[in-house]
Amino acid sequence: MSVTAFRLKLKISSMENVKLQLRQNNFKGEIDDSPTTLDTYSHDASLFEIKPKLVVFPKDAKDVEILVKIVKQEKANDSSLSLTARSAGTDMAGGAINDSIIVDFQRHFTDIEMITRTYAQARPGVLYRDFEPRTLKHGSLMPAYPASRDLASIGGMVANNSGGEKSLEYGKTKDFVSELKMVFADGIERTVKPLTKPELVKVMAKEDFEGEVYRRIFDLCERNYDVIKAAKPQVSKNSMGYTLWEVWDRDKGIFDLTKLIVGSEGTLGFVTDITFKLVPAKSHSGLLILFLKDIDDLGELIPAVLKHHPATFESFDDQTLWLSIRFMPSFRKLLGNKGFAKLLFNLIPDGLQLLRGVPKLILMVEFTGQTESEVRAKIRALHSDLKIKRARYEINGFEEDPTEGQSEKFWVMRRQSFNLLRSKVKDKHTAPFIDDLIVNPEYLVEFLPKLRRIINKYKLFATIAGHVGDGNFHIIPLMKLEEQKERDKLLPAMKEVNELVLKYHGSLSGEHNDGLVRGPWLEQQFGKEVLKLFREVKKICDPSGIFNPHKKADADWGYSYSHIRQHF
């Protein structure tokens, strides 16, 4: 028998042995390697495709412990064995796919265990759309939801350190996770939460894997304290790398390992339970819509808006507007006949906007409050302020939406643009490879035209939408990725965009995480010294390398490029 044949046989026998051991150790969940299931789990919302060999559906934390212990043991016989967590599969960076074992948390980890006005505890497979109505019954909200709020799971939000339209006011997922339960690499579930220095000392004294992790991570943070603190991207949000700079705070004497786990893409262990802090939900909201002829004065306009302290400051470009018009019938299901008619009538202010020229950028400034009159007052104050400067800002027109219901048409366009691209444009496919960049707003007047020139240089049709209040934009090109000439554009276009972002001191990911697409750029983002620390973190927490390979510090563009989808 040849070496290749022997290795192939070894890999097959190792996977079969994993399946056998799962059954022998009373694994209660389902085990599935049917062709249909493997095909379904071979892709997420990214441009990548990797077919797994097995999909498992653990029923509880005990099942996850059994699975991790078995794979850790069998890894000595087959180095290709690994585990990748998955819930809703909406990841745009390829973080939820893998060529070994996919662990589905959405089928059984769906309990919402506890909700009060200030806290909520739930399992990672819970969909945010099911979670939010339960918190709203208590007058509360977990506000760090992404634009894919109707599709995303809370486990995925934790894995990616998600943010969204309310991050301007409230922050990201890491700011709301107060406690986690996680199965460590030794196959034991433990609670992770912020610790005072005396509490940390007690944990580090343990003579087990947990104690070792805490000792070594604390030592890493303490030895490299200044380097780590300096590595923090100087933008309002970031999902690149491991958030080491928030783990150990000397001044406060707090060691918080949740900050390392949130945003780690399941590369350090598996989260099995989440406790969120909640904030009071505002009773009323409304929008002021600004239609801009150009973006020349955006650098001056943004601080003028932010001075009024909006809850949300969003945007979408003319390409997104045209996309919405082109696929207008698709909104009928979302809005109903009455809402659809209002969308048609109100899409262009006074029905004359197109005659004045299509706006280059549509800005959505949202205010919230406890009464409708409070919201109206905030909107009118900003409206009055901007009307004085209207000629200087080249604003085509304003539209006031003082109630949440009236403003829904704009939120539909903003939130649904990616889904429209994925589902309605049949000859091309969404290629999210420059989809989550962030630079500080003061740079946007220079940055955005340069970004558009790169997009035009590579002849990419791309929508630009995002969180203009903090400079976080989502660029989604449409491409024929089955054609080699289109795939050949990815690396040079990505290099140019990424270099532009870093030139303006930004981050390559504000919300969507590294995955397969941005992990290879960690050295450019943080430098060799910090990348070495990231790799040390991975080795400390996952010494056998069983959790979600080829992501974060283990990413390699050659591997990623070889797994770009070619069949749609």
Mean pLDDT of 237-247: 97
Q: Where are the beta strands (DSSP E) in 388-545?
A: 395-401, 429-430, 434-438, 461-467, 472-479
| 193 and 178 Cβ atoms separated by less than 8 Å | yes
Q: Measured in whole angstroms, how far is the alpha carbon of residue 481 from the centre of its chain?
A: 23
pLDDT band at 348 (very low <50, low <70, confident <90, very high): very low
Q: 112-280: which CATH architecture?
A: 2-Layer Sandwich (3.30)
What is the C-alpha to C-alpha distance for residues 487 and 561, in angstroms, rounded to an integer?
9
pLDDT band at 530 (very low <50, low <70, confident <90, very high): very high
Sign of CA dihedral 421, 423, 429, 432: positive
pLDDT band at 391 (very low <50, low <70, confident <90, very high): very low
| 207 and 285 Cβ atoms separated by less than 8 Å | no
Indicate the domain borders of the chain. Answer: 3-107, 112-280, 282-409
Contacts of 409 (CB under 8 A, 6+ apart): 335, 339, 342, 343, 346, 347
In this prediction, residue 392 carries a pLDDT of: 47
Mean pLDDT of 434-450: 94
> Would you call 388 exposed, middle or buried from its count of C-beta atoms within 10 A (0-12, 13-18, 19+)?
exposed
Whether residue 426 is predicted with pLDDT greater than 80 in this model: the reply is no
Residue 519 is which amino acid? G
Residue with tokens 């009307």, as numbered in its chain:
387
CA-based nearest residue to 173, from 254, 264, 109: 264
Give the model confidence (pLDDT) of 180-203 as tens digits. Answer: 999 999 999 999 999 999 999 999
Show the tokens assigned to 20.
């056998």
Residues paired with 288 in a beta bridge? 365, 400
The string over 423-440, giving b where at least 16 C-beta atoms fall within 10 Å of a residue's C-beta and e elsewhere, is: eeeeebbbbbbbbbbbbb
Mean pLDDT of 164-179: 95
What is the C-alpha to C-alpha distance for residues 176 and 166, in angstroms, rounded to an integer?
13
pLDDT band at 3 (very low <50, low <70, confident <90, very high): very low
> Would you call 18 exposed, middle or buried from its count of C-beta atoms within 10 A (0-12, 13-18, 19+)?
buried
> Would you call 234 exposed, middle or buried from its count of C-beta atoms within 10 A (0-12, 13-18, 19+)?
exposed
Residues paired with 30 in a beta bridge? 57
Whether residue 4 is predicted with pLDDT greater than 50 in this model: the reply is no
In this prediction, residue 441 carries a pLDDT of: 93
Class of domain 282-409: alpha beta
pLDDT band at 285 (very low <50, low <70, confident <90, very high): confident
Counting every residue, how long is the chain?
Answer: 568
Give the model confidence (pLDDT) of 65-111 as tens digits. Answer: 999 999 999 999 999 999 999 999 999 999 999 999 999 999 999 99
Whether residue 117 is predicted with pLDDT greater than 90 in this model: the reply is yes
Whether residue 535 is predicted with pLDDT greater than 80 in this model: the reply is yes
Q: Where are the beta strands (DSSP E) in 14-71?
A: 30-32, 54-57
Give the model confidence (pLDDT) of 45-72 as tens digits. Answer: 999 999 999 999 999 999 999 999 999 9
Q: Measured in whole angstroms, how far is the alpha carbon of residue 204 from the centre of its chain?
A: 32
Mean pLDDT of 317-342: 64
CATH T-level fold of 3-107: 3.30.43
pLDDT band at 147 (very low <50, low <70, confident <90, very high): confident
The string over 201-228, giving b where at least 16 C-beta atoms fall within 10 Å of a residue's C-beta and e elsewhere, is: eebbeeeebbebbbbbbbebbeebeeeb
In this prediction, residue 355 carries a pLDDT of: 46
Helix spans in 458-504 (H)? 484-487, 490-503
Residues paired with 102 in a beta bridge? 55, 84
pLDDT band at 405 (very low <50, low <70, confident <90, very high): very low
Dihedral angle of Cα 184, 185, 186, 192, to the nearest 10 degrees: -10
DSSP 433: S
Whether residue 412 is predicted with pLDDT greater than 90 in this model: the reply is no
> Would you call 38 exposed, middle or buried from its count of C-beta atoms within 10 A (0-12, 13-18, 19+)?
middle
> Would you call 442 exposed, middle or buried from its count of C-beta atoms within 10 A (0-12, 13-18, 19+)?
middle
pLDDT band at 1 (very low <50, low <70, confident <90, very high): very low
Q: Distances from the Cα of 12 to the Cαs of 18, 334, 511, in angstroms? A: 10, 46, 37
Global pTM reads 0.90
pLDDT band at 537 (very low <50, low <70, confident <90, very high): very high
Residue 525 is which amino acid? Q
Residue with tokens 């070994």, as numbered in its chain:
100
Whether residue 273 is predicted with pLDDT greater than 70 in this model: the reply is yes
| 101 and 29 Cβ atoms separated by less than 8 Å | no
Average pLDDT of the chain, as a whole number: 88
Residue 28 is which amino acid? K
Residues paired with 141 in a beta bridge? 279
In this prediction, residue 52 carries a pLDDT of: 98
